[in-house]
Structures are given as C-alpha cells and as structure tokens.
Amino acid sequence: MNTQPFDNDTLLIHPSTHGEFVHAPAALANRAAYFGDGLFETMIFTKGKIRFRQAHRARLKEGLKQLKICDNKLTSIVALERFLQGQFGKTSLRVRWNVYRGGLGKYTPQNHDARELILIQKATPAQRIKKTAYISTEITLPKSPWSHCKTLNALPYVMANIERNERGMDEVILKDPSDCISESGIANLFWKKENIFYTPSLSCSCIAGVARGNLLKHLRKYGISVIEGKFTEADLFSADQVFTTNASGIAYLQQIENKAFDTSSIEIVESLFD
C-alpha cells in the first residue's frame, strides 16, 4: 500500500478480506464514528407523511442546542419529507436521520457545523404484545444534562439488549442511578392503573420520546389523568396495564418477571398512531 506523509491529514486503513491493509473510505473518519458526537431521529414515513414531523424537528433542534452543534445548514424536515414522497410515494418507511458534529479533532472539536446521514428502510409493524420482560439489575441509565436527548452514544441500550437477548426475554426495563424506573430498552414506558396513566419523568434519565410527548398531549386533550414522576418497582408492579411507546407504535407487556398484566387494546392510546 502506498502512503503519503501525514502532514495534517489522517491516514485511514483497514484489513481487507485477504488480510492486507488497504485505504479505508475517507467518510469513515467522522466524529460520529470516533466519539458518538451527535444525535439521531428515528421516524416513520406513512401515507406520504412523516408521522409527528414537527415534534421530531423540535426534538432534534433542542438536542443540537444541548450538544452545541450548529443547525444553520441542516436539511429541512419538510424537504426530507418531499424527497421521500417523490421517491417512495406512500410506501411505509423507517427513516433514521443521523446528525453529527463535523470536522475531526480529538475530544475538543475543530468546528460545530452539522453533518448528516439518512438511512431508509421499509417499515415493519410494531410487535403488539411482548410476552416476557424483566427489570435489569446490572445496567442503569446515567444522568446528564443531555440524558433526555437521543444521542449517538447508545451503548447502555446496546448492552441492555444484549443482556435481554441472552436471557431470552422480549423486553428489558431500565432504572436510573437513584433506582427509579426509567424506560425500556427501546422505548418509553407507560402504565395504567384505575383509569390513570403514569410515565417516568425526564429527570429519571429517560429519552424525551416523540411518541411519549404526543401521547401526553393526546391524553390530556381528552381530559384523561396522566402523571409524570419518579416511580419505584412497586409502583410499576401495582399497574393494571403496562405498555411502551416509540416511533413504531405501542407494545403491551404481558408479564414482567412474575407479575402478569392485561394486554387488551387501549383505544385512546392506539388512536394516536392511526
């Protein structure tokens, strides 16, 4: 392999299938790969529209402000939606919008401009019922000023879902460092007891989910009581029904450890995703 003097550039190589070191694509050198320095939005494009479009854009904007990444040149979500309409019509899609800090540098960035990568897949229906779930005792979600943001540094969720898979479970529930219930391994957590809905506060290290925020507004719009707070395992186990929400929809938890829950449809919740 021919190499050039380093100067101020980075030499990027990787082993080929034949065991030889070859040049790697320059695009692999970015702060998303080096530091997880960025955010992402997972969105559902359905019936020719990005579901909860404005809420996704607002969350991304707030997250970029938290991470001090400039969004002046960021693609408009309206322009992205128009592109999807033109290319895919009304095909249902799962769209992941990665936005990360440009430049390289080490821990100290060289600039704060945003760079983007958009991943598009066919959407698959959410799993309606998850039969088995448990509360992790090994993995917790750390608190930070940006713990409510959907950052590219998702290692706690990766490790939680490895643990879940090794245990042969359908869902894992995570807590914060104060032992309060936070969220599931892939979604926000809600439960219902005697016609009142409950969900952990954002102060419990859970992501400010777009579906979560829209469901809170939806329930309150119809005068339904919903409480955000700090809750214990005992609070969760006292529920009649437990479910999770994310961009794909909702999933009911049938059993958490040794406690069984009702999995019948909650129409007021499901109507939000119709």
Q: Does 58 share its domain with 190?
A: no
Q: Report how far apart, in Å, the C-alpha atoms of 15 and of each of 12, 19, 20, 21 are.
A: 11, 5, 5, 4
Q: Does 265 share its domain with 135?
A: yes
pTM of the complete model? 0.93
Look at residues 98, 95, 82 and name the one whose alpha carbon lies nearest to residue 43.
Answer: 95
Structure tokens at 272: 């939000």
Helix axis angle for 210-221 and 53-67, nearest 10°, is 130
Q: Does 79 share its domain with 101?
A: yes
Q: Does 105 share its domain with 184?
A: no
Q: Does 163 share its domain with 220?
A: yes
- Residue where a domain stops, chosen among 96, 122, 148: 122
Asked whether the beta carbons of 254 and 130 are under 8 A apart, the reply is yes
Predicted confidence (pLDDT) at residue 3 exceeds the cutoff of 80: no
Q: Does 177 share its domain with 58?
A: no
Tell me the per-residue pLDDT of 158-207, one tens digit each, with 9 for 90 and over: 999 999 999 999 999 999 999 999 999 999 999 999 999 999 999 999 99
CATH number at residue 170: 3.20.10.10
Tell me the per-residue pLDDT of 37-78, one tens digit each, with 9 for 90 and over: 999 999 999 999 999 999 999 999 999 999 999 999 899 999
Tell me the per-residue pLDDT of 239-270, one tens digit each, with 9 for 90 and over: 999 999 999 999 999 999 999 999 999 999 99
Q: Does 224 share its domain with 204?
A: yes
pLDDT at 184: 98
Range of the domain at 73: 31-122
Could you tell me if residue 25 is inside a domain?
no
